Amino acid sequence: MESTWGNRQVAIVGMGLTGLSCARFFNARRVPFRVVDSREQPPLLDQFVTEFPAVEFVCGPFNNDTFGADDVLVVSPGMPITEPSIVNALDNGALLTSDIELFINSIKRPYIAITGSNGKSTVTTLVGEMLKHSGIHSEVAGNIGRPVLEQLLEGNRPDIFVLELSSFQLERLPYMGAAAATILNVTEDHMDRYDSMEDYHAAKWRVFEGASVAVVNRDDATTFLPVSVLEQTPDQIIEYGLGPSARGFGIQDDQITYQGEPVLAADTLKIKGRHNQLNVMAAMALCLSLNLEKRVSLPHLADAAIAFKGLEHRCEYVEEINNVVFYNDSKATNVGAAVAAIEGLSGDTPSIILIAGGLDKNSDFTPLADVCQVHVKHTVLIGQDAEKIADALAGQSVSRAESLELAVAAALLQSADGDSVLFAPACASFDMFENYEARGDAFRHAVHGIRSQAGEA
């Protein structure tokens, strides 16, 4: 490794968890590096200094001289590669890399690559569980849980890695080469980071580069490139969708099927909604594509799917109060995720009362308004950009609340017997909370508090 890096000056850009894992990676290989962050006081600065007392740390706004002496920039996902000082360094010959590229170049194992605007964590976790049920040692990593390089540092050597990848991670990869890859969906998100949907989509499409198998949703053209552009031949493509299919996965007579044959009854799944049926089929297709020593079988995959209870903050059942069920989908940080949650619940409840709002990411709320018109009885809005959502929902039943606790109380007042209250913000959380997890926890706490006040604890 030392001969690979030679005398190159390496700069790690970003003092978050990814940057810390990169520093540990280079330190373990005795590769000199320095660490740069555009913030004056990065939250992990003290930990960096404690672990690497001899390393140079530079904090504060970037300028054209920031990376003048650096040969390699290891840029964390949170830092746009369109940052002028980074662009200037690359124009002057610096090389761009990332923790994901370092990881891929270091492992000697196959890996599955999963991306999409929504559902990535659910499908990534499902694939890990399905492989476990099949007796295959896998490790889940990437944009879920710990940074990927921590897996290397701990010496984990599974049969296969399952990687959740964001567009920010994909956009800085020169090549992928996954054993199997998928784009679950592409809906408007991160428009505060990308100039257009085309740019955002292009970042997602990179996941298919060099993949042995492409898994695509045949009903959603955003999940695949035209066949003329895809590297994969037809026999390297596994499709899935909500209708019947003689070729791939589908749904017929409320059964998830493969090549027309029943695999499992959709109503046996603990994760509800059509979007989760798609997630299950995508996970099955990814696992089936591997055929590792023929250990992957449909019965094993079905057993894992039926046992899977879902993830926190993703259409998570919270409580039932006066025959009204509360669901926490705080992870719905964009419009597409909120729309999917509403559509997914719509078949299981007479009416939905929606709680939404937060920090807008330069989104178009028209798709949310359209689905609310059909499936939502009332919407309670919170957060910094509540008025922008209210404008999109003009003519519909809408109210506003100053806090999440008041929003929960208002939603219960608007509900009737058998209704569902869905917390799907369609926005980022940072106007009111540290992250979507803290926001979801606050929602659950508010719901439990309402139940206690009602004397139903």
CATH superfamily of the domain spanning 2-97: NAD(P)-binding Rossmann-like Domain (3.40.50.720)
Instruction: Determine the Cα–Cα distance for residues 149 and 230; give it in Å rounded to an integer.
Output: 29
Sheet with strand 420-423: strands edge to edge: 316-321, 324-328, 420-423, 352-356, 376-381, 398-400
The yes-or-no answer on residue 143 being catalytic is yes
Predicted local distance difference test score (pLDDT) of residue 454: 63
> What is the β-pairing status of strands 10-13 and 33-37?
parallel
Which residue type, as a one-letter code, is found at position 63?
A: N
State pTM to two decimals.
Answer: 0.81
Q: Catalytic pick from 133, 190, 272, 378?
A: 190
Predicted local distance difference test score (pLDDT) of residue 457: 42
Q: Is 118 annotated as a binding residue?
A: yes
Q: Catalytic pick from 7, 27, 92, 120?
A: 120
Instruction: Determine the Cα–Cα distance for residues 164 and 345; give it in Å rounded to an integer.
Output: 25
| Per-domain residue ranges of the chain | 2-97, 101-307, 316-453
Predicted local distance difference test score (pLDDT) of residue 188: 64
| Side-chain-side CA neighbours of residue 39 (13 Å) | 10
Predicted local distance difference test score (pLDDT) of residue 1: 39
The yes-or-no answer on residue 388 being catalytic is no
Predicted local distance difference test score (pLDDT) of residue 455: 57
Report helix angle 17-28 to 99-106, nearest 10: 40
- The CATH number given to 316-453 is 3.90.190.20
Instruction: Determine the Cα–Cα distance for residues 193 and 80; give it in Å rounded to an integer.
Output: 7
Which CATH fold would you assign to the domain 101-307?
UDP-N-acetylmuramoyl-L-alanine:D-glutamate ligase (3.40.1190)
Instruction: Determine the Cα–Cα distance for residues 50 and 419; give it in Å rounded to an integer.
Output: 53
Q: Catalytic pick from 133, 143, 185, 275?
A: 143
**How many of the other CB atoms lie within 10 Å of CB of 221?**
11
Q: Is 429 annotated as a binding residue?
A: no
Q: Is 279 annotated as a binding residue?
A: no
The yes-or-no answer on residue 133 being catalytic is no
pLDDT along the chain (457 residues), means of 10: 70 95 95 95 94 96 93 92 94 94 92 92 95 93 87 86 91 87 82 73 85 92 68 82 90 94 93 89 95 81 93 88 93 91 84 96 93 97 97 97 97 95 96 95 95 63
Q: Is 401 left (phi over 0), alpha (psi -120 to 50) or beta?
A: beta
Instruction: Take residue 368 and report the two structure tokens written for it.
Output: 């949310």
192: Cα separation from own chain's centroid: 17
